[in-house]
Amino acid sequence: MKHCPTAIACAVLGIVLTAVGLFLKPARVVVGDRSTVVFFRRFQEGSLRFVNSVTQQPVTIRFRVRSIFSDFSMETDEETENYYTSGTYAIDPVLSRQTSSTLKLCSMQGMVLAIGDDRWEIQDGCLEVTLLWTF
């Protein structure tokens, strides 16, 4: 029995697209009125860095790209963590349970979002990163 070349080609294409979909995460990035599409690798690490405007201390929020953004954690000083939590709980256990397919960030004083080799600086504006395939 002969296989049809088109059926084999379609099967190979389907396997390749599935493999790409499992390892690459396309995302739409909107900065102001500009929109672009970028590709992240699954399990890639990201971070958001800024200075808290009240305590004037640096804050770093780390996360991973999985099927969605997850595994969040925060690095900052105790005073700034208490500012966010009113001193009533540790922030990392709460952040680690958070997940989202979209990161929407706004800053007047400036922040830097880095995911893998991609980096965006936000100054007096907003940035939105939305994962397009969330399986």
Going from N- to C-terminal start, the domains of the chain cover 25-131
pLDDT, tens digit, 9 for 90 and up, residues 74-105? 999 999 999 999 999 999 999 999 999 999 99
Whole-model pTM: value is 0.83
Q: Which of 96, 71, 92, 69 lies closest to 81 in space, CA to CA? A: 92
pLDDT over threshold 60, residue 1: no
Q: What does the mean pLDDT of the chain come to?
A: 90
Span 105-131, pLDDT tens digits? 998 889 999 999 999 999 999 999 999
**What are the residues whose beta carbons fall under 8 Å from the beta carbon of 64, sequence distance 6 or more?**
43, 44, 45, 46, 70, 71
